[in-house]
Amino acid sequence: MFELEFMRNAYFAGTLIAIVSGMMGVFVIARDMPFMAHTLSEIGFAGASFAVFIGWLPLNGMLAFTTVSSVLVGELSGSVQSRREAVISAISGLFIGMGILFLSLSSKNSSYATSILFGSVIGISHHEVIQMTFLSGVILLILLMIYRNLKDDSFDSVGANTNHIHRSLISIVFLVMLAFSVSVAAQIVGSLLIFVLLTLPAASAKYYVHTVAKMMGLAVGFALFGVWVGLYLGYLTNWPVTFFIATIEAVIYALALVFNAVRKTSL
């Protein structure tokens, strides 16, 4: 399997994606933002189709669209939690519409749309792998820098109010990091299913371990397991890798819920 260059690229990229998604996912769950992660994925689709339309690499279009829209969501929803979901719906609707428009305007055929939406293992070039490595490095570096404040703001927003943390800045920085993560992760799982890696591993990990560091570690583990096994099964069967990854992560989450229910009855 590894004698094929695209499989080597896919495994390398998949590993990066799993590490970034697992770590970021812990904060996506703590900040109650799975819907935002899902929306950014859809916006990523619009960005990729825009890129195809004007002849960029899809990754660059995704980066541009997701970054701009994440800042927009942060600014428009402000501190009003209940408004956030409606703002997200408005922005995501607008962007998906644009994505469909750009795809129909560009001359590429529908199989290109399929690979943006559902991911593609074969599509990852050496150049994209380098760009993904760079982006992942940036995300992890920022994460390490703001780790303590992000942790406080995400897990104890009430307490963070009195800790002299610039909460709105943290919120915008986090959204931009999330936009980067979505664009990176979309390369393999596709824009429709990125949120699977950004939510389920972290949502499962929180039932087993109880420190932020351990949750990040376990979430990365769950994501890696899904991506590695998914790629292998995809290679064996020629079925879509995304299907395997989504199924594996869903099963891991279901098992975590069962574990939690059993623990509750034994307490």
Partner 1 sequence: MSETLISVENLSLSFPNHPVLTNLSFKVNRGEFLGVIGENGVGKTTLVRIILNQLRPSSGEVRLKDGLKIGYVPQFRNVDIEFPLSIKDFIALNFTGIKLPWLSKKEKARIKKVIELVGLTDIANRPLGLASGGEKQKAYLGQALVNDPDLLILDESTASLDPNTKQELLDVVLRLNKQLGLTILFVSHDMQLIHKYPDHYLWLRKGKYTTGAMSDLHNENQEGQYV
The answer to the question of residue 147 lying near partner 1 (CB under 8 A) is: yes
Residue 165 C-beta: closest distance to partner 1, Å: 6
Q: Which of 81, 89, 84, 76 is nearest to 39 (CA)?
A: 89
Q: Work out which of 83, 126, 127, 148 binds partner 1, going by CB under 8 A.
A: 148
Size of the site for partner 1 (CB under 8 A): 27
Question: With respect to partner 1, which residue has the nearer C-beta, 118 or 155?
Answer: 155
The answer to the question of residue 207 lying near partner 1 (CB under 8 A) is: yes
Residue 211 C-beta: closest distance to partner 1, Å: 4
Taking CB under 8 A as the binding criterion, the range among 115-123, 146-154, 232-240, 246-254 that sits at the site for partner 1 is 146-154
The answer to the question of residue 12 lying near partner 1 (CB under 8 A) is: no
- Residue 220 CA from chain centroid, whole number: 12
Rounded Cα–Cα distance for residues 148 and 132 (Å) = 25
Which token pair is 51?
């890129």
Which token pair is 8?
């080597």
| DSSP string over 117-183 | HH--STT--HHHHHHHHHHHHHHHHHHHHHHHHHHHHHH-HHHHTTTT--HHHHHHHHHHHHHHHHH
Q: Work out which of 76, 152, 233, 243 binds partner 1, going by CB under 8 A.
A: 152
Rounded Cα–Cα distance for residues 33 and 56 (Å) = 29
The answer to the question of residue 107 lying near partner 1 (CB under 8 A) is: no
| DSSP string over 184-226 | HHHHHH-TTTHHHHHHHHHHHHTTT--SHHHHHHHHHHHHHHH
Site for partner 1 in 160-199 (CB under 8 A): 160-165
Question: With respect to partner 1, which residue has the nearer C-beta, 114 or 260?
Answer: 260
Q: Work out which of 57, 129, 146, 250 binds partner 1, going by CB under 8 A.
A: 146
Residue type at position 55: G
User: Which residues of this chain interact with partner 1, rule CB under 8 A?
Assistant: 144-149, 151-152, 155-165, 206-207, 210-213, 215, 267
